[in-house]
Amino acid sequence: MDTRDDRYAAAEKLKDGGDLAGAVALMEALVADEPDFALAHSALSAWCIRLERYPEAVRHARRVVELEPSDPFSFTALSVACMRAGMIPEAEDALARSRMLQG
- Which pLDDT tens digit goes with each residue over 41-78? 999 999 999 999 999 999 999 999 999 999 999 999 99
Q: What CATH number does residue 30 fall under?
A: 1.25.40.10
Alpha carbons 41 and 61: distance in angstroms, whole number:
7
Give this prediction's pTM.
0.94
Position 94 pLDDT exceeds 90: yes
Domain total in the chain: 1
Residue 77 lies in domain: 4-101
pLDDT value of position 86? 97
The DSSP code for 70 is T
